[in-house]
Chains A and B, each alone.
Chain A
Amino acid sequence: MTSMTDRLSARFAACSNAGRAALITFVTAGDPTVAATPAILDALVEGGADVIELGMPFTDPMADGPAIELANLRSLGSGTKTKDIFALATAFRLRHPETPLVLMGYANPMLVRGSQWFADQCRAAGVDGVICVDVPPEEDAEIGPALRAAGIHLIRLATPTTDAARLPTVLNGASGFLYHVAVAGITGKQQAAQAAVEQAVAKLKAATNLPIAVGFGVRSAEQAAAIGRVADGVVVGSAIVDIVGSHGDAAAPFVRDFVATLRGALNANSPHFRETAA
Chain B
Amino acid sequence: MTDTISLPNSLRSQPDASGHFGAFGGRYVAETLMPLILELEKVYREARQDPAFDAEFTQLLRSYVGRPNPLYYAGRLTEALRAGAEPGKGAKIYLKREELNHTGAHKINNCIGQALLARRMGKRKVIAETGAGQHGVATATVAALFGMECKIFMGAKDVERQKPNVFRMKLLGAEVIPVVSGSQTLKDAMNDALRHWVSNVHDTFYIIGTAAGPHPYPELVRDFQSIIGKEAREQILEIEGRLPDMLIAPVGGGSNAIGLFHPFLDDAEVKMIGVEAAGEGLAGKHAASLAGGKSGVLHGNRTYLLQDEDGQITEAHSISAGLDYPGIGPEHSWLHEIGRVQYMPITDDEALASFQKLSALEGIIPALESAHAIASAEKVAPTLDADQILIVNLSGRGDKDIFTVASALGVEI
- Tell me if B147 is interfacial: C-beta within 8 Å of chain A: no
CB contact under 8 A between A60 and B198, given known A138-B18, A184-B32: no
- Tell me if B29 is interfacial: C-beta within 8 Å of chain A: yes
- Tell me if A275 is interfacial: C-beta within 8 Å of chain B: no
Distance A76 CA – B309 CA, assembled complex (angstroms) = 13
Distance A60 CA – B300 CA, assembled complex (angstroms) = 12
Sorting the interface of chain B by its residue count into under 10, 10 to 19, 20 to 34 or 35 or more gives 35 or more
Q: Does A161 lie within 8 Å of B35, measured CB to CB?
A: yes
The 0/1 profile, CB within 8 Å of B marked 1, for residues 57-74 of chain A is: 011111111100100010
CB contact under 8 A between A181 and B310, given known A59-B182, A107-B297: no
The 0/1 profile, CB within 8 Å of B marked 1, for residues 88-112 of chain A is: 0000000000000000001111111
Distance A135 CA – B298 CA, assembled complex (angstroms) = 11
Distance A63 CA – B34 CA, assembled complex (angstroms) = 13
Residues of B within 8 A of A134 (CB): 28-30, 297, 300
- Tell me if B3 is interfacial: C-beta within 8 Å of chain A: no
Number of interchain pairs (Cβ within 8 Å): 115
Q: Which of A60, A157, A159, A183 contacts B182 (CB 8 A)?
A: A60
Q: Does A60 lie within 8 Å of B310, measured CB to CB?
A: no
* B136-158 with Cβ < 8 A to chain A: none
- Tell me if A274 is interfacial: C-beta within 8 Å of chain B: no
Q: Does A62 lie within 8 Å of B27, measured CB to CB?
A: no
Interface stretch among A39-47, A162-170, A197-205, A248-256? A162-170
Distance A260 CA – B141 CA, assembled complex (angstroms) = 54
Residues of A within 8 A of B299 (CB): 60, 62
Residues of A within 8 A of B195 (CB): 62-65, 186
Residues of A within 8 A of B202 (CB): 184
- Tell me if B9 is interfacial: C-beta within 8 Å of chain A: no
CB distance from B28 to the nearest CB of A (A): 5
CB distance from B173 to the nearest CB of A (A): 26
- Tell me if A148 is interfacial: C-beta within 8 Å of chain B: no
Residues of A within 8 A of B198 (CB): 63, 184-186
Q: Does B199 lie within 8 Å of A181, measured CB to CB?
A: no
Q: Which of B34, B188, B309, B311 contacts A111 (CB 8 A)?
A: B311
Residues of B within 8 A of A61 (CB): 191
Q: Does B194 lie within 8 Å of A62, measured CB to CB?
A: yes
CB contact under 8 A between A60 and B298, given known A76-B312, A112-B311: yes
Q: Which of B187, B191, B201 contacts A184 (CB 8 A)?
A: B201
CB distance from A51 to the nearest CB of B (A): 20
Residues of B within 8 A of A161 (CB): 31-36, 201
- Tell me if B61 is interfacial: C-beta within 8 Å of chain A: no
- Tell me if A136 is interfacial: C-beta within 8 Å of chain B: yes
The 0/1 profile, CB within 8 Å of B marked 1, for residues 142-182 of chain A is: 10000000000000111111110010001000000000010
CB contact under 8 A between A181 and B297, given known A112-B307, A186-B195: no
Which chain B residue lies CB-closest to A136?
B34
- Tell me if B169 is interfacial: C-beta within 8 Å of chain A: no
Q: Does B31 lie within 8 Å of A157, measured CB to CB?
A: yes
- Tell me if B296 is interfacial: C-beta within 8 Å of chain A: yes
The 0/1 profile, CB within 8 Å of A marked 1, for residues 32-58 of chain B is: 111110000000000000000000000
Residues of A within 8 A of B166 (CB): none
Distance A156 CA – B31 CA, assembled complex (angstroms) = 9
Q: Does A109 lie within 8 Å of B182, measured CB to CB?
A: no
- Tell me if A17 is interfacial: C-beta within 8 Å of chain B: no
- Tell me if A208 is interfacial: C-beta within 8 Å of chain B: no
Q: Which of A58, A59, A138, A185 contacts B34 (CB 8 A)?
A: A138
CB contact under 8 A between A181 and B32, given known A62-B299, A108-B298: yes
20 A-B Cβ contacts within 8 A? Answer: A60-B191, A62-B194, A62-B195, A106-B297, A108-B298, A108-B305, A108-B307, A108-B311, A108-B312, A111-B297, A111-B311, A112-B311, A136-B31, A138-B27, A158-B31, A160-B32, A161-B36, A170-B31, A184-B199, A185-B198
Q: Which B residues have a C-beta under 8 Å from some C-beta of A?
A: 18, 26-36, 181-182, 187-188, 191, 194-195, 198-199, 201-202, 296-300, 302, 305, 307, 309-313
What 4 pairs across the A-B complex have the smallest Cβ distances? A112-B311, A185-B199, A109-B311, A107-B297
Known: A134-B297, A136-B34, A166-B35. 9 other contacts (CB 8 A): A60-B182, A60-B187, A63-B198, A109-B310, A109-B312, A157-B30, A161-B31, A183-B199, A186-B198
